[in-house]
Structure 1
Amino acid sequence: MELLSTRLRNAADAVAVLGDCAADVAVLLDGELRGAQDRVTVLRQCVDRYAALIAGEIAHRSRPEAGHGGMAQSAGFVSPEAMIQSIGKLSRPEAVKLVQLGTIIAETEAAESLTARSVEVDPGCAGGDDTSAEAGTSNAQMPPPWRAPLVAALADGTLSSDCFHAIQRALGDVGPGVSAAGLTAECEQLLESAAGLSPDQLFRKARNLRDELDSDGIERREKQRRDDRTLRTWWDGAGMYCGKFRLAPEEGTIVAGAIDRILSPRRGGPRMVDPEEKAAADALLNDERSTEQIAADALVDMIRLAIDADPGTIFGTHRPAVRIIITDAHLHNRAGHGRIEGHPNPVSFRTVERHLCDTGAIAVGFDDTGQCVNVGRARRFFTPRQRVGMAVRDGGCRFPSCDRPPSWCEAHHINPWKKEHGRTDIADGVLLCRRHHLLLHDNHWKILRHDGGYWLRPPRTIDPTQALIPMPSRNPDIHTIQTQHQQARQRT
């Protein structure tokens, strides 16, 4: 493996040839500019690792037992984070992340060193010299084994510090019932597919992995999110009424659905086909109020309606829907978990039952590749039932790195209806938000389908090789179906 110091020098030399000012960069061609960004990314990763190593050692020399003689304390700082924040001109969250990362690296490397030495000598004599890292590890709890492959990936440059923190945050609350060996093996598989993924994408994949391995913790985590709900209000000095709230996914979906329904045309939601809805959308777009003002007025209007409502009236015609997704096996066994459409966190079966009682169920079948099998049609437009199936299958906009939920998406024919005589079968359609839908049509991107999966082919102006980009579903259950299908094919 290439040494960190060597990689840093090579990366710095590669970046230095770019020049010294904006004019030097402005003459680069598109491909050269993308390559320059790649080289800067490598350099930044090297610098971030050095920063983490230094921060971890500062934190070790400033540990509480050192008292006023600690490195940060003796320099007048209340904590190592405060010292790093001051010296590096960083925000406090950035300093905290550096200390956490540096500490994890030091603990993991020390644990690996102790393990290696215990193989060579008697385990009772493995203490050795009292170096700072080994002393810190021997006196504290050993780090979890699943961190080791993350630290190794960080060392060889295949994982950035932001991606490291994303995985660490997602797997940090795995329950005690999950085996360390199993989690480590799954973490290694996760790293094999980490290339090209953003921290947010890796966080979602790691969180789905956590839910698969620790299904017993789904109800516990759901209860914790519900217990963490808050609403705080106050009057500020200007006489304005202010508020701050945190809602669990189930209740948050209701509020978000109501606001999204009102502001959808302003925020790039799906385009309207019905003349009346289109007229209402145009009126909203031409409204002189800001988007924030419209949202504030809508909130007040909804509260007025709720206060004035007749207690004997049953509402529900246009209420924001909380659509629950659950597999047939879990529904049949009356156990397991479900998911709120457009939200990544699973919910317990008790929550599923409550919503089934309230809204009923719409059956959407899937084959072994994760493709809907009972909602196909050959009409010009996708039907409402097909859109339900696509929402379940895709989980939102399929474009890489996009986080728009199904309610913000439009159905895209991967084979144009007129030009290529495409069929309006659900397998030939994907959900895309308005921005990415227009991008495909206007900039000559293309979506291809193979074996139940979808791939994005960029135009030659973006990538001369037109390398295919995977477009995975944002629904973790579809990913599970496809993985099981691939494993079954490999066994046969």
Structure 2
Amino acid sequence: MTGTREALEQLRSTLAGVLAFGDARLWSDDELLVTMGELEALGRLVDAHRAAFAGEIAERSRVELGEQRLSARKGCRSAAELVERVTQASGFEARRRIALGSATRARSGFTGEPIEAVFPLVAAALAAGELGADAACTIIRELDRTRTVADPVALATAEQALVAEASGGGDGGAVRCTADELRVQAQAWSVFLDQDGREPDDERAMRRRGFRLGRARDGLIPVTGELMPEVAAKLTRLFDAHLAPRSGGGFMTDEERSRIAEFGETRTADQQRHDVLAAAIDTAARSGEHPMIGGAAPTVLVSVRASDIESGRGVAHADGVEVPISLRAVRHMMCTGGTQKVVFDDDGRIIALGSPERCFTPHQRRAITLRDGGCLIPGCSVAAAWCEIHHVIPDVDGGPTHPDNGVLLCWFHHRSIDTSGWGIRMLRGVPQIRPPAWLDPGGGWRPVTKSPTRLADQHDRRPAA
């Protein structure tokens, strides 16, 4: 054991000397790619041994060993926790290594006779450095789902075919499949091998379905879960409908539209899907078709000190999430959902409770919808039903809750209106907009609407050529 440790330490020192950080900047394109490939080959060998050691730790930490299991003797609740503490890897990575090592380790029978690994071909390719951990996990995960119902010969054929594709030994040459390409093939084999058909799979999916909000990280709440295929299909179509390119900006020229198409959208596809989901949640909450909470529609309560709002410094807190929210988000929510002033004395007793100030009534919203027709930002295709109403003059600055002071904006453009550079003003109750300087340095104010009726009126008033 001492010799192995010394050899590994020497290997690590040698590798650190050969691959100094920053050297890659000086390499040619071909040198960069070739070296990356060789480094990955070395990494496959390391990953194989990482999985093997994790699998052995799991074997020595079996529950049936009781207090004699390795994890318990080292003060850990499970094999995964022990791997985490030894390697400083994440819990997810520790569990992944254990699953991979357990599925590829040789076993012993009750009488001590050797039994091959559950996936022997994967084990052999992994040990030889021909198969990476990602590819091996993909094969094991998909084939293991059908192992109890699949024909053993067909299962072995599937394992052989997938290992060959991942290691470059398949038909047509030595081009390796990527882990993502292999996943598609493995899923196809899984469907083929599942002799029970899709109904048992559907039953498993019904049991596993779920949606989870994680712990806050870097000011964001991670989302995880598993959707039923038909639910995912509906969500995908919803995203497609709102993210499909459409012409917008009824008052704009063709040249202006092309400039918006080229420069106007700065969000990534993931960010756009987030904003569609945010609008869908707000729309559902406004619909009145969901259960009431405390006699009112589902409403997020946000607490913030009045002094922080006035100074522009500090944070607020929303019920249901542990991470604070910014004052920019608070102003957005105040503009959309209204405020209620609560006064405490120095001991924390409530001494004054103001009446809640809602922003716009349903009647006012319908009127604004007919006037604006959708999000007023040119090039934005979000429909009126999905929009929020923005106080052009903020309520805290004395702006009235009146159609003459409210315009339709989608969630994203409402959230970013203070920083995006778009200007909005009302002139005798009619919205006008001014593009940001980066988009149109000399741009001035102009009336804006996406209402088909008002656009038709504007067309009729144009002088004949």
Could you say which TM-score interval applies, normalised by the shorter chain?
A: 0.3 to 0.5
Normalising by structure 2, we get a TM-score of 0.47
**Larger Rg computed on CA atoms:** 2
Normalising by structure 1, we get a TM-score of 0.45
